[in-house]
Amino acid sequence: MILFDCDGVLLDSEEIADRILCESLSTLLKTEQHHSEMSDPLFLKQWIIDHCGQTDENILQRFSEFTRVNPPHDFLSQFQTTLFKTLSHEVKPIPGMKKLLESLEDKWAVASNSSLKRLKISLKQGGLINLCESRLFSSEQVGKAKPAPDLHLHIAEQYDVVPNECLVIEDSAAGVKAGLKAGMRVIGFIGGSHITPKHIDFLKMAGPEKLINNSDELSDFFTTWKSE
């Protein structure tokens, strides 16, 4: 059983989400006349990148704790409205991923911290919805989001497979930790445009067994994995 993260693995969407969130939080800080490291756009952008793979709600909570700025009650919904609209026009698949998914047998699924609504919007624009729609799983369907193992374990149960027979493909430290906590093998994927040297360092520290650069390398790894 193969479990793919979506944003940053199947879709090159993380850079878009980071940009929209950075713009939204910058506007909030200016409105609140807040001055700290977060007021520096470069610092804020890197801070957001460092929280890759976490839910919007969790990132916003950490932002509030860091800055002592409480966003208005509709901040998250407004941000997501802007994000979904942007994704519906801009998001593209990671090169080669469609062909790779088409080559796989039945036991694979998409395991994401993103909402089902966001996943469907992004996958439709990225040309992957027909392949993935019946295999979509979101952290909103379980008790805790990644880095908790709940989502990965839920999917394994749905497909009636044991965790140690699952292979997880993740681009974030949170996702890697979730897969490992679930007792699964985990590969770190670094083929997205959002990947930086610091991001790779975070990914390595989370403990995947291997880092893979693109869909061709991933396809080669799958061939080896199936023969083990």
- The predicted pLDDT at position 86 comes to 96
**Quick one: pLDDT at residue 101?**
96
Closest CA to 81 of 137, 121, 29, 129: 121
**Per-residue burial over 191-223, b = 16 or more CB atoms within 10 Å of its CB, e = otherwise:** bbebbeeebeebbeebebeeebeebebbbeebe
> Which residues of the chain fall below pLDDT 70?
227-228
- Look at residue 33 in the predicted model and tell me its pLDDT: 81
Structure tokens given for 170: 């993740």
Instruction: Render pLDDT for 146-156 as a digit per residue (tens, 0 to 9).
Output: 999 999 999 99
How many CB atoms are located within 10 Å of the residue 92 CB?
14
Residue 131 is predicted with a pLDDT of 96
pLDDT at 227: 67
What's the pLDDT tens digit per position in 80-121?
999 999 999 999 999 999 999 999 988 899 999 999 999 999
